[in-house]
Structure 1
Amino acid sequence: MASKDNLAAALKYAAKNKPVFPCKIDKTPCTVNGFKDATTIKDKIFAWWKENPAASIGMPTGSVSGVWVLDIDLPDGVESLSKLEEKHGKLPETLVQQTGGGGVQFFFQWPENGTEIRNSAGKVGKDIDTRGSGGYVIVPPSTHPTGNDYQWLTHRPPAPAPDWLLSLVKSPPQKTSKTKNNDLYGNTPYGQKALAEEILALSMSSEGTRNDQLNRSAFNLGQLVAGGQLIMASAEGALRGAGFGIGLGEKEAEKTISSGLQSGMRSPRGPQDDADDFSCYNSNGQNGFNGQNGFNSSQRTATDSQRTTDGQLTDSQRTTDGQDQNPRENNLKGAVKAWILMDKRSFKIQDAYNDLNIKNPQQKKNVSDYLSRFCSEGLIERVNGQRGVFSYKDSSCPSINFLDEDEDMESMLKLPLGLDDLGIQVMPGNIIVVAGESNAGKTSVLLNIVMDNLKSLSPDGKYERMKYFSSEMGDKEMKIRLKAFGKPLKSWLPMGAYERTGNFHQVIDPDGLNIIDFMEVHDQFYLVGEWIRRIHETLNNGICVIALQKKAGSDFGRSGEISLEKPRLYLSISEVIKGYSSCKIVKAKNYTAERNPNGLEKDFRITRRGADLQELTDWRYVQYAERKKLNAQYELMVKQESAEMAERSIPGEETAYEFYVDGDTKRVTIRQVQKWRESFAGLDVDEVLKELAYDSFEKPFLTKNWFFQVSGILGKKHKNLQGG
C-alpha cells in the first residue's frame, strides 16, 4: 500500500472521531509522547505524514477511542479462543482485522458501565492479549515488519463484548501509587529507569544470549507492569524495538516478549521499601547499574528464595571461607568494564556516573578505584592534562599488505555524473556518503549507482546482488522509480530492497554492495558518526553508499563534520534553484588523475522521475559570481520551458509542423494550419506542409521570414490548382 494511502486512511479514521498518531515500521511511536499525542486534528495529522510518509497508523485503545481490542496471536491463540467459545459461547459479529504478522484482532465497544480494561498478555488464554487503557494498536493499511499489510476482515461497527468476555478481561481496581511524577504514559520514575536499563542490557547482549536476555528483561518488566510501575504498551514497544534492533526474528521476539511479560506479571514488583531513595534502584533491586552492563536478574545479590526466614543468606550464598560474597560490588566492577568496552572511546568519569546511574558517594569512589585499576591493567589510559578523563587503550594494528595488490586495480564501483573520468576510485571496504538537501537528488544518484553496477541491469556491472535499504519509500513509490529506468522490473530483483531506519551494521553484506537511503536521525545527530564507524568495522571487501540529509548552505550532513571521518568519498548535493542541482566533491581520498578532484562541482538536473541525471556543466571550481550567473541562466531556462508548456496547453496552440530555419527549429500551430486550410480551400495544405517541413531539414532553404515564405508557397500552389 502506498505511503499516501496511509495519510488518506489516517484522515478517514480522524473524520470518524478515532484519534491516530504515526508509528515506525517496528510499531514504536514516531512522536515524543506516543499514543498520548493521538489526535483527530487534520492539520496535525497531515503534518505528521508529510514529515514521515511511510509511517504506520497507530490508534490508542480505551475510552479515548471508544474501543478495546482482543488480540489473537499465533501459534496458539486461535485454539485458545475456540476453547473459550466452546465454554462460553461465540463472540458476536464485530469489527475484525488481520495483522501483518498473521494474527487476528477483534475490536469491541468500550464498556459504558465503568468496567476498566487494561493491557494484558496471556491473561485470558495462551497467546491471547488485550489492548485497553494505556495501549494502542496498528491499523490498516499499515505495513508490518514482515512486509505484509494489515487488513480489515470485516467492515461492521465494533460490537459490545459479551459479559463472559468482560469478566475475563476486566482489571481489578488499581491501587493508588505513592510514587509521584509519573510520565505522560503513566510510567513511574522507578519504572522508567528500570525500562531504560533493561533495554541497554539487551543492546549489549552477545550473540547466542540475546533471546535469553530478552526473556529475562521481559520477565523483569512484566513484574513492574503488574506492580503498577510501567504500562504494558511502554514495555512491549521498547522490548520489541530492542529485540528487532539486535537482530532477533520478528516471530521469535514476539513469542519471547509475550511469554516473559506473562510470567513476570504473576509476581508483581515495585520500588524498595525506602521510598525516599527508590529512584536509584533498578529493576533487580540493585543500586543503579543493572542491565546496562550485560548482567541480569540471575546475578542478583540474593533472591527471596535464597534467604532464610530471618532474612539471612543461606550457605549456598556464602564463600567457602565463611565470608559473605558481595556480588553487588563485583557486578559494579563488571558493569564499569562492560560500559568501557561497549564504545571503546574517550570518556569522563562523570559519563560513567551518569550512564550507570551512580549516585552513592561510596560507589562513586569505587568506580574511581576501578578506573585506576583498569589503567594499571592496560585496559584504559589517562588523557594527559585532563583530570578525570580516560581513553580506551586499543593496541590492535591490522597490517596492510601492499605487495600483493595489483597496481592497476580497477575501481570497485562505477560512479554517476562522470566521477569516473576524474580518476576517482572506490576500493574494497570503502564507504561513500551522499549528503543532500530534500528533493536535491540523493535517491536518483543512489538508484543510478545501482543501475550502473548491477549485472542484471548493466553489461558492465560487477555485482550479482546488492542490498538497498530505504527509510521512506513504500512499495508503489519504489516501483514507479524503478520503472522510469525503462528496464523490466524483474531485472531489478537481484537488488534486494528492504525497509530499515537504523543499526545498519547488523544487516549489511560485509562483502557486497550496500545502499542506505537514507540514514535517518532527527535529533541525536552524534549517532551518525557512531553508525558509520560500526558499518566501517563490519565491512570486509564490501562497499556501502550512505545518503544523509543536509541543511541548505552546508556541505555536510546534519551530523556535521562527524560524518566526514570514515568515508573515502563524500559528495554534497544542493538544489541551486528549483529543479536544478549541484554536486560537490567534499572529500575524495582515492584518485589516479593528476588533477585533485576535491572541491570540484558539477551542475545537473533530474529528468524521467530520477532515472536520468542530465549533466549541465563540466567538473570545475565555482566561485560566487559564476554561481550567480549559472543560476540566472537556469532560471531563464525554467521560464522559457514554463512559457512553452503554457502555450502548448492552450487549445489550438499545439505544434502541428516544425521547420528548420537558420540553425533553429520553428513551429506552426494547429490554429495557423486551420487558417491556411480555410484560405486555400481545395489545396491539400497538410501534404504541402509535410513536404516543406521535410525539405527544410534535408536541404535548408528557409530564412528569417520563413513564415511568409511558407504562406507564399501555399498561395502559389493554390493559384496553380485554380488554373490561374
Structure 2
Amino acid sequence: MSKLTQQDLDMWVDGTEGVFSLDEAMKELNLEREDRRVLRVYLSRLVKRGILENVGNRMGHYRLIQTEWEPINIFGKSKFHDLVFPVPIQKYVRLGRGGMCLVAGEKDAGKTGFLLNIAMRNAARLKQLGQTIRYFETGETGPDLMRERLLEMNPTLTSLPFELLRLDGEPEDTVRRYPNDITIIDYIEAPEEAWRIKGSLTRLSKGLAGGEGGALIALQKPKGRDDAYGGQGVKDKAQIYLALESKNGSGWWKCRIVTAKSRVQTMIDPVGKEWKYHIKALGTEFADMDPNDWVDQDRPARVEF
C-alpha cells in the first residue's frame, strides 16, 4: 500500500510554484516506484477538480491554478521594520512590510538565542508603535529552559515584553491571524519530509502579503552549506536570509548574510558579510565580537537599486 495520501499531496501541491513534473513530485515526496501509479491518480483528481492543469503537450507536467491575487498598494505608508539584531545586521539590511527573515543554522548554532535576542531588543519599542511581537515555540525548548535563557538575558525579568506562545499547528496560521504584527517562529523542522518546509514558507509568504507585519523564522541547515532543509527554493522566499554556522571547529561561530533584498546603504553590497562570535549564557549571548573585525570588508554594491 502506498504511503502517499491525497491530503499529503494536496498540501504539497499548495506549496508549489510554476510547472512541476511527475518525476519531481516523486523525488520531493520521497516516494518509491510502486507509488507512481497512486500519485498519478491523485494528480488526475486535482486536475478534474480544477486545482491543477496539465501543461502544454508535455505528459506528466502540471501547474497549480492561481485563483486569488493580493492587491499591492505601493503608495501606502512605507514601513520598514527597523529591527535590532544580536549582531549589527541592521546597519546593512532591513525587513519590509510582509517580508520574511529566515535564520538557517546548524545544530547548536544559537538559533533560539538569536531569535530571543531579537524579541527582547525590539518588543518594547514596537509596542509603542502599535505592534506586538509574538514568539511561537514548537516545544523543543520548553517553558523551564526558556525561563532559564530569558533570565540569563535579564535576571530581574518578571514579565515578558512580548507574547510567548506554543506552536502546535501549521506555522502559516500564525501570520494569517496576525498579519500586521511581528511573528517569530522557533522553528520549522522536517528534514525527513523537506518538501513540507518549502510549502509552509510559501503559505507563510501568502499570509503576510498585504499586511503591515513581518516574520522571522528559524530553520535547520546541514553543516557546510547555506541552504536549509527544503532546498534552494527555501532561500528564494526570504527578504533576508542568514546562515549561522561553526567556524572550522575553532570554537567560534559566525553569522553570514546570504540574501539581502533591501539594503540600508544602497552603495554597499552586504551579501557575504560575516560576523564571528562566541556563544555564552545558555546560548543567549553573542560575545567577543570585534566591531572592526569583519570577515568581509564593506565593498561597493554590484547593482545599485
- Do Structure 1 and Structure 2 share a fold, with TM-score over 0.5? yes
Aligned letter for 1:478? Answer: M
Gap change, CA 1:385 and 1:516, over 3 Å in 2? same
- The structure with higher relative contact order (CA 8 Å, sep 6+) is 2
The equivalent of 1:564 in structure 2 is 235
- Supply the distance in 1 between the matched residues of 2:58 and 2:224 (Cα, whole angstroms): 36
1:604 aligns with 2:277: yes
The equivalent of 2:190 in structure 1 is 521
The equivalent of 1:494 in structure 2 is 162
1:616 aligns with 2:290: yes
Q: Aligned-pair distance for 1:595?
A: 0.3
The equivalent of 2:72 in structure 1 is 400
Q: Is the 8 A contact 1:453 1:460 kept in 2?
A: no
Q: Is the 8 A contact 2:12 2:196 kept in 1?
A: no
Aligned letter for 2:158? Answer: K
- Supply the distance in 2 between the matched residues of 1:339 and 1:621 (Cα, whole angstroms): 39
Secondary structure, aligned partner of 2:215: strand
The equivalent of 1:595 in structure 2 is 268
Gap change, CA 1:397 and 1:497, over 3 Å in 2? closer
- Supply the distance in 1 between the matched residues of 2:233 and 2:85 (Cα, whole angstroms): 24
Secondary structure, aligned partner of 1:603: strand
- Supply the distance in 1 between the matched residues of 2:264 and 2:17 (Cα, whole angstroms): 35
- Supply the distance in 2 between the matched residues of 1:455 and 1:547 (Cα, whole angstroms): 22
Equivalent residue runs for 1:318-467 within 5 Å: 346-348=19-21, 353-355=37-39, 357=41, 367=44, 371=47, 381-384=53-56, 386-394=58-66, 396-406=68-78, 409-422=79-92, 424-455=93-124, 463-467=131-135
Equivalent residue runs for 1:217-296 within 5 Å: none
1:538 aligns with 2:207: yes
| Residues 571-607 of structure 1: CA deviation (Å, up to 9, x unaligned) | 0011113541111100010113020101111111122
The equivalent of 1:483 in structure 2 is 151
Aligned letter for 2:87? Answer: L
- Supply the distance in 2 between the matched residues of 1:339 and 1:486 (Cα, whole angstroms): 42
- Supply the distance in 1 between the matched residues of 2:128 and 2:278 (Cα, whole angstroms): 25
Q: Aligned-pair distance for 1:493?
A: 5.9
- Supply the distance in 2 between the matched residues of 1:586 and 1:478 (Cα, whole angstroms): 28
Secondary structure, aligned partner of 2:165: strand
Q: Aligned-pair distance for 1:522?
A: 3.0
Gap change, CA 1:342 and 1:536, over 3 Å in 2? closer
**Aligned pairs, number:** 278
Q: Aligned-pair distance for 1:371?
A: 4.7
| Residues 237-296 of structure 1: CA deviation (Å, up to 9, x unaligned) | xxxxxxxxxxxxxxxxxxxxxxxxxxxxxxxxxxxxxxxxxxxxxxxxxxxxxxx88xxx
- Supply the distance in 1 between the matched residues of 2:73 and 2:173 (Cα, whole angstroms): 27
- Supply the distance in 2 between the matched residues of 1:339 and 1:604 (Cα, whole angstroms): 38
Q: Aligned-pair distance for 1:536?
A: 1.2
Secondary structure, aligned partner of 1:443: helix
Q: Which structure has the highest strand share of the two?
A: 2
Q: Is the 8 A contact 1:455 1:462 kept in 2?
A: no
| Residues 654-712 of structure 1: CA deviation (Å, up to 9, x unaligned) | xxxxxxxxxxxxxxxxxxxxxxxxxxxxxxxxxxxxxxxxxxxxxxxxxxxxxxxxxxx
Secondary structure, aligned partner of 1:609: coil
Q: Is the 8 A contact 2:110 2:283 kept in 1?
A: yes
The equivalent of 2:258 in structure 1 is 586
Q: Aligned-pair distance for 1:477?
A: 0.8
Q: Is the 8 A contact 2:135 2:164 kept in 1?
A: yes
- Supply the distance in 1 between the matched residues of 2:56 and 2:295 (Cα, whole angstroms): 45
Gap change, CA 1:619 and 1:439, over 3 Å in 2? same
Q: Aligned-pair distance for 1:612?
A: 2.3
Equivalent residue runs for 1:92-103 within 5 Å: none
Secondary structure, aligned partner of 1:432: strand
| Residues 448-501 of structure 1: CA deviation (Å, up to 9, x unaligned) | 101111118x9988744423323410222111101001253333163223154x
- Name which of structure 1's ranges 385-394 and 342-351 shifts more when overlaid on structure 2: 342-351
Q: Is the 8 A contact 1:453 1:463 kept in 2?
A: no
Gap change, CA 1:609 and 1:504, over 3 Å in 2? same
Q: Aligned-pair distance for 1:544?
A: 1.4
Secondary structure, aligned partner of 2:102: strand
Q: Aligned-pair distance for 1:527?
A: 1.4
The equivalent of 1:168 in structure 2 is none
Q: Aligned-pair distance for 1:558?
A: 2.3
Aligned letter for 1:506? Answer: D
- Supply the distance in 1 between the matched residues of 2:231 and 2:68 (Cα, whole angstroms): 28
Q: Is the 8 A contact 1:429 1:536 kept in 2?
A: yes
Aligned letter for 1:354? Answer: V
- Supply the distance in 2 between the matched residues of 1:608 and 1:340 (Cα, whole angstroms): 43
Q: Could you say which structure has the larger radius of gyration?
A: 1
| Residues 140-174 of structure 1: CA deviation (Å, up to 9, x unaligned) | xxxxxxxxxxxxxxxxxxxxxxxxxxxxxxxxxxx
1:553 aligns with 2:224: yes
Secondary structure, aligned partner of 1:477: helix
| Residues 205-245 of structure 1: CA deviation (Å, up to 9, x unaligned) | xxxxxxxxxxxxxxxxxxxxxxxxxxxxxxxxxxxxxxxxx
| Residues 1-28 of structure 1: CA deviation (Å, up to 9, x unaligned) | xxxxxxxxxxxxxxxxxxxxxxxxxxxx
TM-score normalised by length of structure 1:
0.34
What RMSD over aligned residues (CA atoms) do the two structures have, in Å?
A: 3.7
Equivalent residue runs for 1:672-691 within 5 Å: none
